[in-house]
């Protein structure tokens, strides 16, 4: 069964479309960047999903920590400060967050926040290094932070299904799907 799923994923994957040079040079370009990059989408939805799974206060804290730290990573990218293995860090964020959801991991809040913050640096750095040359860095960063928040809200919305037993299984399955997508990104098959 797992082998068939893996082959199916191989056959239907497409490259990430996180390169938004033709969308504009400011807010809209920044807003589009995380939304058109599936590697970013799954990880950012996972942050909201995991926060909802963990409950209060994580449901709001994790989706606040991520964009704040991501903005710092974006500034590092804009300043061309190198961070090793950014793409692997982005893919690993989906794998790790997806597995944490799938296996119902409930670490202390400070550990959950630290995990989310670590991955946010990679996502932010990628956004910052891919800013169009003519873009206003502040407008671009504002765009990608707002889009990230909206993706977190989608995860939170899905994560509220944990109120019901069947919903818990759906959320855990969603975590598994996110982890599989992250593996596909990690091994370059997506």
Encode pLDDT of 125-151 as tens digits: 998 898 887 778 888 888 988 999 999
Closest C-alpha among 44, 14, 27 to residue 119: 44
Q: Of 104, 109, 129, 20, which Cα lies nearest the Cα of 64?
A: 109
Residue 8 lies in a domain: no
Least confident span in 2-16, 20-34, 45-59, 165-179: 2-16
Q: Which two tokens stand for residue 188?
A: 């370059």
Range of the domain at 176: 27-186
| pTM listed for this prediction | 0.82
Helix (H, G, I), strand (E, B) or coil at 56: coil
Percentage helix, strand, coil for the chain under 3-state DSSP, each rounded to 5: 75, 0, 25
The domain tally of the chain equals 1
Q: How far apart are CA 42 and CA 177, in angstroms?
A: 9
Structure confidence at residue 33 as a pLDDT band (50, 70, 90): confident
Q: Per the domain annotation, does 75 fall within a domain?
A: yes
Give dist(CA 60, CA 72) in Å, integer.
19
Does 177 reside within a domain?
yes
In a domain, 124, yes or no: yes
Q: Is 115 within the bounds of a domain?
A: yes
> What does the pLDDT look like over 72-107, one tens digit per residue?
999 999 899 999 999 999 999 999 999 999 999 999
CB 116 within 8 A of CB 190: no
Asked whether residue 3 is domain-assigned, the answer is no
Let me know if residue 178 belongs to a domain.
yes
pLDDT band at 190 (very low <50, low <70, confident <90, very high): low
Is 17 domain-assigned?
no
pLDDT of residue 137: 84
Q: Could you tell me which residues come within 8 angstroms of residue 119 by beta carbon, excluding any fewer than 6 positions away?
A: 43, 66, 89, 90, 92, 93, 96, 97
């Amino acid at each position: 069964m797992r082998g068939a799923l893996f082959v199916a994923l191989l056959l239907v994957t497409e490259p990430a479309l996180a390169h938004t040079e033709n969308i504009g040079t400011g807010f809209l370009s920044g807003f589009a960047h995380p939304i058109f990059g599936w590697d970013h989408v799954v990880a950012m939805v996972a942050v909201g999903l995991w926060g909802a799974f963990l409950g209060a206060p994580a449901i709001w804290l994790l989706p606040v920590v991520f964009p704040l730290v991501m903005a710092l990573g974006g500034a590092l990218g804009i300043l061309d400060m190198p961070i090793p293995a950014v793409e692997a860090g982005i893919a690993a964020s989906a794998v790790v967050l997806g597995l944490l959801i799938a296996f119902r991991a409930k670490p202390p809040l400070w550990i959950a926040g630290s995990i989310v913050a670590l991955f946010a640096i990679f996502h932010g750095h990628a956004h910052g290094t891919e800013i169009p040359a003519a873009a206003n860095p502040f407008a671009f960063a504002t765009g990608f932070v707002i889009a990230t928040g909206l993706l977190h809200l989608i995860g939170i919305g899905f994560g509220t299904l944990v109120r019901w037993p069947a919903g818990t299984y759906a959320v855990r399955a969603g975590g598994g799907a996110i982890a599989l997508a992250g593996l596909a990104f990690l091994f370059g098959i997506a």
